[in-house]
């Protein structure tokens, strides 16, 4: 099912890596020639670090250690840090595939010119997603470095967690793109920001979900950031198990669905 979706999203129109690369290349060119873009990039890095310092360290001093369902005992900062990492991967990817992507195709008309070339809508989507990942990976790599320095994980587990954060970025980036194709205007972004913030607060980020009523636990287990946080946490704390694989599978499906519908929506919207 998943492989079929991925395959049909990617191969159906005959995706050429060269053309996907050309879309990435365009964004690299834009990055090189604009100082303002660097500012946006840098600002994205500080947010999770500030959360880690204020809540992980500050609030952590009041909380002390916490015990997980499987019996692991973790210092609070060690518990919070992977959640900030996963959230940062989500936010980094989504900033590109929602806000920037929307601006490019609604206002800057960046893709109008591209569509006259052999590049297909799905190749534009893939190129933007790869670009979003490159951006998101810079954040997560630096953040993982910070975690190693603060002794919140080891170098080995940080290296293992890095590809997991990329999966998080791909999954959220792909789904973010569907939202972008459905956006009516900027006001819809407020809704999305609220949803993202709710995910950020409740997805086992600051407290294990066992602290919530059972009904809430069920709801949380359906939402994507929960799976991202749990997967990344299993790795940075050095305790991967079968559950980790289930979380990863959830995100792979999410990415496949995202790509499939984005490709279809874009074709319908752009090739009128």
Tell whether residue 22 is a contact of another protein (CB under 8 A).
yes
With respect to another protein, which residue has the nearer C-beta, 33 or 187? Answer: 33
Side-chain half-sphere exposure of 148, counting CA atoms within 13 A: 15
Tell whether residue 184 is a contact of another protein (CB under 8 A).
no
Q: Which stretch binds another protein (CB under 8 A): 29-37, 74-82, 89-97, 243-251?
A: 29-37
* Alpha-helical regions (H) of 119-185: 121-149, 155-182
103 vs 270: CA distance, rounded Å = 14
Q: 161 near 147, Cβ under 8 Å?
A: no
Q: 47 near 196, Cβ under 8 Å?
A: no
Tell whether residue 26 is a contact of another protein (CB under 8 A).
yes
To another protein, the closest distance from the beta carbon of 99 in angstroms equals 15
# residues near another protein by CB under 8 A: 29
With respect to another protein, which residue has the nearer C-beta, 83 or 114? Answer: 114
**Contacts (CB under 8 A) with another protein, residues 61-120:** 108-110, 112-120
To another protein, the closest distance from the beta carbon of 40 in angstroms equals 13
Tell whether residue 35 is a contact of another protein (CB under 8 A).
no
Q: What's the start-to-end Cα distance of the chain, in Å?
A: 30
Side-chain half-sphere exposure of 229, counting CA atoms within 13 A: 26
Task: Give the number of other Cβ atoms within 10 Å of residue 261's Cβ.
Answer: 19
Q: What residue ranges bind another protein (CB under 8 A)? A: 13-14, 16, 18-19, 21-23, 25-26, 29-30, 33-34, 108-110, 112-120, 270-272
């Amino acid at each position: 099912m998943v492989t079929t979706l991925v395959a049909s999203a990617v191969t159906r129109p005959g995706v050429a890596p060269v053309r996907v690369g050309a879309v990435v290349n365009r964004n690299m060119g834009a990055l090189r020639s604009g100082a303002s873009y660097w500012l946006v990039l840098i600002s994205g890095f500080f947010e999770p670090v500030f959360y880690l310092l204020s809540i992980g360290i500050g609030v952590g001093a009041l909380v002390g250690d916490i015990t997980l369902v499987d019996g692991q005992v973790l210092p609070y900062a060690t518990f919070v840090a992977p959640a900030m990492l996963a959230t940062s991967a989500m936010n980094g990817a989504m900033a590109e595939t929602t806000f920037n992507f929307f601006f490019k195709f609604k206002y800057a008309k960046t893709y109008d010119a591209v569509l006259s070339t052999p590049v297909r809508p799905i190749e534009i989507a893939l190129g933007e997603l790869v670009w979003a990942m490159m951006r998101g990976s810079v954040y997560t790599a630096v953040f993982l470095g910070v975690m190693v320095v603060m002794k919140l994980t080891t170098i080995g587990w940080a290296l293992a967690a890095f590809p997991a954060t990329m999966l998080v970025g791909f999954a959220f980036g792909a789904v973010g793109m569907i939202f972008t194709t459905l956006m009516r205007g900027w006001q819809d972004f407020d809704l999305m920001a609220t949803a993202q913030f709710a995910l950020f607060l409740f997805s086992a980020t600051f407290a294990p979900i066992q602290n919530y009523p059972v009904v809430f636990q069920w709801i949380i287990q359906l939402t994507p950031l929960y799976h991202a946080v749990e997967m990344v946490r299993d790795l940075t704390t050095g305790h991967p198990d079968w559950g980790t694989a289930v979380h990863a599978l959830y995100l792979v499906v999410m990415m496949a669905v995202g790509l499939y519908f984005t490709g279809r929506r874009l074709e319908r919207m752009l090739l009128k």
